[in-house]
Each structure stands twice: as C-alpha cells, then as structure tokens.
Structure 1
Amino acid sequence: MTLQALDPQTNIADLADFVAASPTSFHAAAQSARRLTAAGFIELQESQLWGDEAATGKHFVVRDGAIIAWIGSPTHQSYRVLGAHTDSPGFKVKPASSVRTLAWNQVGVEVYGGPLLNSWLDRELRLAGRLTVLVNGQLETRLVATDAIARIPQLAIHLDREANAGLKLDKQGNLYPVWGFGDSRGDVLAYLAERAEGGALDPAAIVGYDLLFADAQTPRTFGENGELFASGRLDNLSSVHAGLTALQRVAEAGTVGNHSLMFAAFDHEEIGSETRSGAAGPFLEDVLVRLSEARGESPAVYRRSVAESVCLSADAGHLAHPNYVGHHDTSVRPVPGGGPLLKINANQRYATDSVGAGIFAQACAKAGVPYQQFVSNNNVPCGSTIGPITATRLGMRTVDVGVGLLSMHSAREMVSVADMAHLTGAIEGFFTI
C-alpha cells in the first residue's frame, strides 16, 4: 500500500483546528467521531447488540471522553492498535462552582493531573466540558464550550518581592480563576446553560457536570520559517490527531491486509487511567471481545489473535531542552525535526522491548520517516503512559512512542511541525506493515 506523502503545513493546520475544537476529552471524542463519520465510519452503541458486520468494515464506539475506531480485516488474524489519550492536565470545576471573594466573581477549581501551575497564570482561559441535565424525567448530556472567559491573575511583584526567587502557589488559595466583578450575576452554571450545544437549558435542570479550563489562545506556528507550533493540549492531542489522521488515510487508500486496524483514544491517563473510560478499565477489552464474538471465534482463537497483536502506545515525550541540558541523558538527546521518539525505560515505565523497537523501526522504514530514541537521565525518573497498562491488562505486545515536546504539561506546549507529520507517517507505516 502506498499513501501520498503528508504535507507538514497542511497537517499542522488541521491539528490546530482539531485542538481548537477539542478543549476537553469529551470534545476530543466528539470531534473524532465527527471526522470518522465524514470518512464513512459507522457508529455503534455499547448498549446494543452488535451483528457480524461489526467485525468488518469501518466502525467506532464512544464511551464518555474515550473513543475506539477500527477497520476490520476480512481475513483477520490480529490487530494493529494505536493507543493514545484525550485528557490533559489542568483545572476541573468543583461542586461549589461559583465563588465570591471581595468584589470578584471566581470559579472554584481542583487541580487535575500534574500541570505546570505557573504556566496557567495571567493567560485567558476557556471553560468547557459536559453538562448532565434532567429534562422531563430523562437524563441527557450536553457539551458546552466558551471563548475566553477567565484568568488566574498573579500577585504583583511589588507585593511579593521574592516571587522571582521561587514562586510557590497554594493550590487552594491562589488558583481560583477570576471571571467577573461587581454586580454581575456570577453564576457560572447559568452562564454555561445559556451556551450549551443544542440550545439553552434551564440552569435548574443541571444535575451534574464535568467542566475544565483550557487555554483560549489560538494554536499557531512560529519561528524563523514557521517550523515550530505552539498549542494547548499537545499532550496528548498530538497523538490523538496523528492516529486519527493515519487511520482515515489508510481507510481512504482502501487496502487492509490480515491485520484489523484500531485507533483507541482513552480518557484519564493524566490521573492514572483507572476509570471506565481509561486504559486500565475494560473499554478496549470489551470491544475486542465483542468483535471476536461477531466473527464467531472461540475463546482460544481470540487469545491467539491478541497474542499476535501489537499496540503502539503514542504519548508525547521530551525533546532535549536547550536551557536545561543537565536534566537529560548525556548521550541520548532528542532534537526537533528528528522524528518521533521510541521511548525506552529499564524499569518498564515504558513498555518497549527489543522486539517492539524492531517493529517501530520497520514501521518507520515503511513510511520513510526518521525516528529517535528517548531515555531518561538516571537522576530524573520518567513518567509513564498507557503502554504498560495495556500490556499488563491484555498481554498484548506494546511499544511506547510519541512526538517530542518542550514545555510538557504547560498550558501551552510546543512541537516541531515536521515531527507531527513524521509521527502520522510512522503510524501509517505501523498500520500497513
């Protein structure tokens, strides 16, 4: 199978649109579903029985802020799974959403995951997520997203002369966003109810919500030749977009071999993945089992299929930082434009082994894209990904990869434009080897 080369500038413009439309995991799943539907994929509902047609053709299923899509092979023997996650670190709205302090209207928030707290100060923020409402005795959910609405203002240096010596932020006292003052209404749920997708709601009908703040600044390229890209939520919408784009392009090419192809974007990776829509939950296994049943396979045949399958766990990684060279390994220092990272860790914080490394090398060679290795400085332990979770839960060989960033977990991260195209190409190669 030969795919037309992906234009890096066209790809990065599409990533910018995708991020702007995906301020939360729920929006990322919904945006992925819209794109898949436009590409001819058919949505299935978990609450319904799936017929044998689910095992072939192009389908997807959404579970809250997670989505799994696949192209079934008529001669299915195993899966090629691209795993990613839809959530990012930030601030989630508390049950006491509206707070009044002095003359200021604020929003009560709780820290979600491990954001770089200082990066969220003094920038305009959006508020977005999911509202659960009770209407005529029936529960339903509505997505909602605002434009720039709030800001977390930093204390002036005149009032904290030691701020530049070491800024310390109290998570309870210093991080509530400001969104109004004076005689304004100050009821954030009422404000959101007026702007819900599908039409305005009665605020009294809101019985629950999952709301998070996101950077309101438009994603954009920058640099001498526009070779760099800055955006919120690149960890990990960079991988979600790359996997989604690769699956769509392979589907358009129209040739699938003996491997069924799968795109699995989970929620809640930043807080441990142990949820119904996280990688440690049953979502992927549920789909795999149901597809095996749709093919009429025995449990033994299903297990053989999983044993022959491979998961490419794609999550953003670290480029070597020019201002903090000592924080990186002395000899393995990934550079922008060098291609996606093959992530390796002796303690299996990344799931890559030598066979998996060979599979990724084969995929990149097939796509004609470069790649580079990443390993942590021994004094700076690395984080982890969905990779070891998937490998442990399913016994599926898993390889950890991802595009390299600077400013990971900042409100606004940065990446090489070329590397985003390289990552998509590597995933296409993985799908077609």
Structure 2
Amino acid sequence: MIYPTRRAIYLLLAGAPLALVLGLVRPDLWLVAPGWIGVILACLILDTLSGANPRHLTLDARFPTQAGVGDSFELSLAAHGRNVPPRAAFALSLDERLADGGRLTGTMRRTGGALVGTVALAASRRGQAGVEALWIRWAGPLGLVWKQRRFRVDGAVDIVPSLRAVTEAGSRLFQRNSWFGLRQQRFRGEGSEYEALAEYQPGMDRRSIDWSASARHVKLLAKEYRVERDNRVVLAIDAGRTMAEPAGGMPRVDRAVAAALLLAYVGLKLGDRISFFSFAAKPQALTPAYMHIQDFPALQRAASRIDYAPVESNFTLALTTLSAQLNRRSLIILFTEFADATSADLMIRAAGRLAKKHRLLFVVLRDEEVEAEERRHPESAADITRANVAAAMLADRQLVIARLRRLGADVIEVPADAMGASAVEAYLGIKRQGGL
C-alpha cells in the first residue's frame, strides 16, 4: 500500500492560496497553480518509484512457542528485500496477554541489508497468546509517500506456569537446607520416625532422653529420629473469581500455580507423593500422586490446565470431593483468598470437617493495597471513609484466619513476591515437626 504523507498534502494545499493571490494580482500567471500541482504529482510518482518496493519484502518473525507467566522473552523481526530504507516503523497485532490493548509499535533499523527489530514481551496470564499480523511502514526518499506492507504472522505462544522461579528458588532452598540434597539421605535428630538410640551429648534435646533405656544401661541414652518420607501432599488451588484478581501485576491464581510448582519440586526431591487439585464452582480433576522428580513435567502440564473462572468458588463441594478421594492422612496445602467473614463461612465449615483427618495449610496473599489504604494519612473525608473501610476489611480477614487456626489449620499470609519461598518454608517446618 502506498499513500501520501502529511508533507505531500500540506504542499498541495499550499498551492491553493498561491493560485488565489496570482489570480487577483496577475491573472495571466494562472498556469503557475496547475504547474505547482503537476510538480508535486511528479515528485509523488518519483518518490513512489524510488527506494524499496513493499511487494518485494519478506518477513522472518521468530519467537518461542512456549513462555512462562511473567517471564520476559523476545520477538525478533527481520524484513528482507532490495534497497530497504534505513529505518521503518512497525505495528504488531497480538493477544492482550502479551500487550495492553493487543497492539505494540516500534522501530526497525537497517542491519546487513535487512530491516531488523526486537520486541521484549512478557505474558500476564496463562493460555495461548496469538501473534496475528505485522504492519511495516516507511517514507520514500523525498518524504512524500508512505510505503506500507501488512504481513500475516498467525503464530501463537503457549503461556504456561513459570519455571524460572521454581528452578532459582529451589536451588536456593536446597542450598539453605543442605540436608535436602539431590540424594535421599537419612537425617537424624529431627522428624518423627524412630531411628536408633545414641548416647546423650550436650546440645541434644532433653525431651529425647529415653529414661528406661538409660536406667538399664546406667548412662544417658537419647532417641534419634529421622525425617518422614513418602507422605501424601495435595496442592489445592482455588481458581475462582477472587483468585483471578491481580496482585503485584499478576493474577493471584498464577502466583499460586508458580508457588505450587515450587512446592511440588521440593516435595518430589524429598520423596513425598505430590498431587494437584484445583476447583472453582466445581472440582477439577485430582492428579495421581507422583513421587519421582522425573514426574515433574506431568505436574507442570496439570498446572497449565488450571483456568481462570469468573464464578464464586464452591468450597463445600470441592473439599468434600477431595476428602472422599484421599484414603490416608495427607497434608493439604490450599492456595485461596477470602474477602470477608461472611463469604468465608462455608469454607471454614468445610475446612473444619477436613481438618479432623488431614493436616491443612492455608496460603493466602497479603492484601497490600488495602493495607496501604488503611495506613495512609487522610487528607479529606473520602480518605477517612476509605481508611475505615480498609480497616474493617482487614479485621474481617484476621477473624477468618483466627477461626481457621482454632480448627487446627495452619495459615500463612505472605507477600506476593515471596509466596513460593514462604510456602516451602512452612512445608519444611511441618516436616521437621513430624506433623504429617
């Protein structure tokens, strides 16, 4: 497509007052006006024929077929042809998961006989993000015409849960807790499984002293324990409406999925049986219990299928269904969100029934926006109203947490950026206590 630039239109319009003035002053010079228009038209034709022809361009667009939520990646563009201009503008039509409004613009520059451009992208939500079309436009040598070409890309990027945080945080956690190595080791001194009797040494827990054995052997003997393995751990993710809301620029459910994958990675390393469970208005499939690190890709695929649901979560149906499918005591780590005590009442009742048989750990994100409103110094009556509403919301939230803890469940409130690490620390603490 070729069409005039703003400069060409202004030059053509400039001939109108010139023709009017000449017509009033020197009517015999009326031919100057058509001549001016002819010169501009000739320049337009010359500008059209000069330089690169849009029809001769070919596009090479390269981008990964898969990317993690929140992970940055590059989309490389290269347009090849003869006599390409020094620079050109481009507009890219793509999915809103990759750009607000589904549109990106930028500049391509000539490098080695081709127009080259790079776009840095980061996905905000999971799913399949399409890259639809690209428009390239540049001005002719005289700047009088625009030359434009539309290329159909028809590509797609599968947006899956991010593994970058899993690998980085997992490595740090294993370095911090060196006894959780790549090899399964026996770790004596902590846990709940009895290992052996050993002579008491200063620094050992006095509660581990076996007084009967010490009396028989006439010396202090203490029991040694080892950390339990082969525990069943269920990572339950609430995918309802409240979890679809953003926290720190990313939906809560995506942060929960990333944290659950980190937990799954650590749990498989420790020899526990890990399974995923998600729910919204109704329960979704419960995955088998995996226990080998080679099964981690299967858990990643299961996590990528957890979709966003614009409906309220049915905790009664979900937790009752989950309880019916568990035939042994398990640790259930539930990633969820609750806004007030009234809406969380059914969740508390269902959790109370589940806590009688299983160990429950609730992981919720701190509502930093509400906390900021509650702490902000008021400057008007509207600010005072917002602060009071925020304080009431935080009080309701703490009431729900207190009720859950009275039922015997563990609850941790974590910042958005530390959700995975905090959940893993809580899981490791439960294992050290032998609470499974």
TM-score of the aligned structures, taking structure 1 as reference length? 0.26
Rg larger in structure: 2
Task: Decide which structure has greater helix share.
Answer: 2
Question: What TM-score results when the alignment is normalised by the length of structure 2?
Answer: 0.26
Higher relative contact order (CA closer than 8 Å, sequence separation 6+):
1
